[in-house]
Amino acid sequence: MRYWLLLLLVFGLCYTCEAEYKAVDGDSLVHGEERIRLQGIDAPELYQTCFDENASEYDCGKKSLSYLQDLIKGNKVYCKCLKKRDRYKRKLCECFVSTLSLNREMVASGHAISYKNKKLAELENEAREHKYGIWRGKFMRPAIFRALERANNPQNKRKSQ
């Protein structure tokens, strides 16, 4: 009997102290000390701006982050990760809330673009056709935005690593 009580106590404590998933930008999460990159997508950088259908500038990087935060808020997140990591030592994962793939939803909603992923490229094309999210106006692809930032500020290291 004591064994079972001890076992329940240990598992109960471990469950309550488990770290929550937190979105840090439109394609990255943290889980405790672990950094996670949503595999197959690239979202606008946190301080990147875009232009809407009326050519008005808006903070598309912050909007992308906000959308991902809303998807995970109050929900249990789980991730399926590859064994390899990216060059910044982040886990490469597909993450879910229930059966909803966060990776797929970010692209389908127009809050991210596909990155070397044919299945997600199809969702990107649909988002573009329907003018969802960043596709409703003009934007710079995040990889180009990062390259220009590095070229213009070579002394600054990339903040979103």
Write out the two tokens for 79.
């991730």
Mean pLDDT of all residues in the chain? 88
Q: What is the pLDDT of residue 15?
A: 39
Q: Are 57 and 75 within 8 A, CB to CB?
A: no
Q: What is the pLDDT of residue 14?
A: 37
Q: How far apart are CA 153 and CA 59, in angstroms?
A: 20
Q: How confident is the model at residue 10 (pLDDT cuts 50, 70, 90)?
A: very low
Residue 51's SS3 state is strand
Q: Is the pLDDT of residue 74 over 70?
A: yes
Q: How far apart are CA 142 and CA 68, in angstroms?
A: 17
Q: Are 118 and 49 within 8 A, CB to CB?
A: no
Comparison of pLDDT for 18 and 17, the residue scoring more: 18
Q: Is the pLDDT of residue 12 over 50?
A: no
Give, in degrees to the nearest 5, the angle at Cα 108 between 106 and 113: 65
Q: What is the pLDDT of residue 135?
A: 98
Comparison of pLDDT for 44 and 17, the residue scoring more: 44
Q: How confident is the model at residue 153 (pLDDT cuts 50, 70, 90)?
A: confident
Q: Is the pLDDT of residue 142 over 60?
A: yes
Q: How confident is the model at residue 11 (pLDDT cuts 50, 70, 90)?
A: very low
Least confident among 58-67, 71-80, 95-104, 147-156: 147-156
Distance of CA 140 to the CA centre of its chain: 18
- Phi then psi dihedrals of residue 50, to 5 deg: -135, 180
Between the two ends of the chain, the Cα-to-Cα distance in Å is 49
Q: What is the pLDDT of residue 21?
A: 95
